[in-house]
Amino acid sequence: MPEIEQLPHLPRLVLDPFRALLLCLMFLHLPLSMDLPPIWCLSRPLRLHSLPQHAEIFSVTKLPSDGVLLTPSVLRTKPHSRCETLISFGALQRKRREERKTSEASRFLRLSYSVCDSHNSDQTLLLRLQEVRVAMAQVVASAPGKVLMTGGYLILERPNAGIVLSTTARFYAIVKPFYEEVKQDSWAWAWTDVKVTSPQLSRETMYKLSHKNSTLHCISSRDSANPFVEQAVQYAVAIATTILNDRGKKDVLQKLLLQGLDITILGCNDFYSYRNQIEACGLPLRPEALASLPPFSSITFNAEGSDGTVTRDNCKPEVAKTGLGSSAAMTTSVVAALLHYLGVVRLPSSAKIPIEEKLLNSDLDLVHIAAQTAHCIAQGKVGSGFDVSAAVYGSQRYVRFSPGVLSSAQVAVEGKPLQEIIAGILKEKWDHEKIKFSLPPLMTLLLGEPGTGGSSTPSMVGAVKRWQTSDPQKALETWRRLAEANSALEMQLKMLSKFAEDQWDLYRFIIRNCSEYTYDKWMQQAANTFQEAIVKSLLGARDAFLHIRFHMQQMGQTAGVPIEPESQTRLLDTTMNMKGVLLAGVPGAGGFDAIFAITLGESGNNIADAWSKLSVLPMLVREDPQGVSLESGDPRVKDISSAISSIQI
């Protein structure tokens, strides 16, 4: 039987001098604090029988001490080839060589194998992995921010729909054990230690999680507590307890909880305003200035002191946001990471690894219920939920759920134990509607930050509701016209996507031509009836959006709230008259937070230049229709690991 041992050094690899040098240079820049797995290999070359046609080997990455991490890379092999077979299972906890004995409590790899006698004189050996159980050392999940393109205010009431785009701005949650091993006396514990860390805010909060009712008790300063994270942890663990108990996996959950939970939260820079910091440094209002900031920059240095300066001494944790739904994305990422870590769901991978659609939809629905519940309880009201839905499912046409489905969760806030009401939440009929949606091909979402101050969405919504009550007939008529304009825009965008699907070359030709002209010259670019139909849809989408803006302006003026303030109107009109711009508006509830534009072809760079001259900071955000995802590792080292993985061994 071949001995299995841990690699103490780099395996014998054939690399040309350039790639070898590149690997060495990358090793020097890898952080040594990463939690990386051990590598296992057969100690001597074997001729293997029944070796798969595609055997997985791994590229080389540095370990904190001896050994290497091998990241996935596919090597095509031939049956009966003489090779040294590597067996590696990602994201395992590191194990010293002398600690050979497998420990279920510490959740290390367990291998059962048998070696058959030779089938010929070459003594071909068959290595059969009968059981491989891998428990992850950490789980990294991400969820996107959103832009509500249509449906502002209407989306608060069924059956009104809105188009919400998910974005490249993502929140990440990293979940791993707080303790490396389950302590011998821990089975008598009634509490789980939970640590929540926000590196960007320089905050660390410790909790005790009750096994009895899944409630968190803060044992450090409440100043650093985050209600959205607290509710996400409580509801994720409560749902995991309910489901795993029903599946007969109570012991598995117990072992995971006894190791404690170490949760780290990271938000992309796009969720926060760095405009003041850029201006204070004398940098131009350009996307390049934002791109020069370190990923996951500190957000405690973004507030001005009383003397107008930005220093570590006078800064506060409160920061300006860009209106991308940071709380919903953060809540969703924490819920998703915990449910995946605890073995309740299987998240779709950012690497697009296929999952059976029925199982995927069921798991995403569970993440949605938990995240939607936690988010509503944390914010103290039952909102429309479009931001959480976009964080879970991605870009979509959305109709809200009936608020009554969360009545049992609101009872829990009043003192009823969480475990007693969680089953009721799962059994409720969640009647929200979601239909996949994304922008037509060759169209780009752009966002800009005018720098005229933020807006309070709750107060604006309250003012609009009061107007509805005081003048219901006028409000009903305005909302009817808004709904018609929203539907018209949706229809035209769908038609453009169909044109692209049916006649890609003609579609690409006309879109690229129109991107070089203002809207009034688009029809001149059409050379045949099909291209004329495309231009008519472009102009139809533009007209529909102008109607949306008009009715939103009227509603704001009547309700006394700045849905599209005069300064924004001037900026949006100027933008819509630029070359290659299909439409431009204020997202969601409106106000001063941001503006967005949908551009054609490659015209986005010119729009960014024009915005900079108008004192608008073009943001780096784009549409990404992908919802919640399982990431391959810590996003803070993603760029380095991606570069290493790209090297062919």
What is the rounded CA–CA span in Å between residue 135 and residue 130? 17
User: pLDDT tens digits, residue range 17-39?
Assistant: 444 444 444 444 443 333 333 33
Q: Which among 519, 483, 532, 503 has a CA at the least distance from the CA of 600?
A: 519
User: What pTM does this model have?
Assistant: 0.77
- pLDDT at position 349 is 86
The mean pLDDT of the chain is: 77
Which residues, other chains included, contact 68 with Cβ-Cβ below 8 Å and sequence gap of 6+? 7, 9, 10, 11, 39, 60, 61, 62
What is the rounded CA–CA span in Å between residue 628 and residue 409? 23
Q: Which among 93, 79, 123, 116 has a CA at the least distance from the CA of 6?
A: 93
User: pLDDT tens digits, residue range 601-631?
Assistant: 999 999 999 999 999 999 999 999 999 999 9
Residue type for 103, please?
A: S
Q: Which among 493, 647, 453, 460 has a CA at the least distance from the CA of 582?
A: 493
Residue 524 DSSP class: G
What DSSP assignment string belongs to 370-429?
A: HHHHHHHHHHTS----HHHHHHHH-SEEEEPPPGGGGHHHHHHHTT--HHHHHHHHHHS-
- pLDDT at position 438 is 94
- pLDDT at position 251 is 87
- pLDDT at position 418 is 81
User: pLDDT tens digits, residue range 447-480?
Assistant: 999 976 556 677 888 899 999 999 999 999 999 9
- pLDDT at position 100 is 32
- pLDDT at position 456 is 65
The pLDDT of 423-432, averaged and rounded, is 89
Q: Which among 593, 572, 566, 571 has a CA at the least distance from the CA of 584?
A: 572
Find out whether the peptide bond into 284 is cis, omega within 30 degrees of 0.
no
What DSSP assignment string belongs to 124-159?
A: -B-EEEEEEE---S-EEEEEEEEEEEE-TTGGGSTT
What is the rounded CA–CA span in Å between residue 453 and residue 273? 10
What is the rounded CA–CA span in Å between residue 585 and residue 152? 11
pLDDT(263) > 50: yes
Grade residue 352 by pLDDT with cuts at 50, 70 and 90.
low
- pLDDT at position 186 is 61
pLDDT(294) > 80: yes
Angle at 580 between CA 576 and CA 583, to 5 degrees: 35
- Give 459-506 as a 3 state SS string: HHHHHHHHHHHHCHHHHHHHHHHHHHHHHHHHHHHHHHHHHHHHCHHH
- pLDDT at position 638 is 64
pLDDT(118) > 70: no
The pLDDT of 326-345, averaged and rounded, is 97
The pLDDT of 540-546, averaged and rounded, is 97
What is the rounded CA–CA span in Å between residue 321 and residue 275? 11
When mean pLDDT is compared across 68-72, 224-228, 548-552, the lowest value belongs to 68-72
What is the rounded CA–CA span in Å between residue 201 and residue 209? 23
The pLDDT of 165-173, averaged and rounded, is 97
pLDDT(136) > 60: no
- In terms of C-beta distances under 8 Å and separation of at least 24 residues, what long-range contacts does 24-30 make, across chains too? 26/640, 26/643, 26/644, 27/62, 29/640, 30/61, 30/62, 30/637, 30/640
- pLDDT at position 66 is 34
pLDDT(256) > 70: yes
User: pLDDT tens digits, residue range 408-420?
Assistant: 777 655 566 787 7
Polymer length in residues for the chain: 649
The pLDDT of 151-163, averaged and rounded, is 94
pLDDT(163) > 60: yes
Main-chain phi, psi angles of 246, to 5 degrees: -65, -30
Please state whether 226 falls in left (phi above 0), alpha (psi between -120 and 50) or beta.
beta
- pLDDT at position 189 is 74
pLDDT(253) > 70: yes
pLDDT(105) > 70: no
End-to-end CA distance of the chain: 29
Grade residue 364 by pLDDT with cuts at 50, 70 and 90.
very high
Highest mean pLDDT among 38-47, 63-72, 588-597, 637-646: 588-597
- pLDDT at position 453 is 59
- pLDDT at position 358 is 64
What is the rounded CA–CA span in Å between residue 23 and residue 182? 37
The pLDDT of 504-518, averaged and rounded, is 96
Q: Which among 353, 432, 538 has a CA at the least distance from the CA of 157?
A: 432
Residue type for 480, please?
A: R
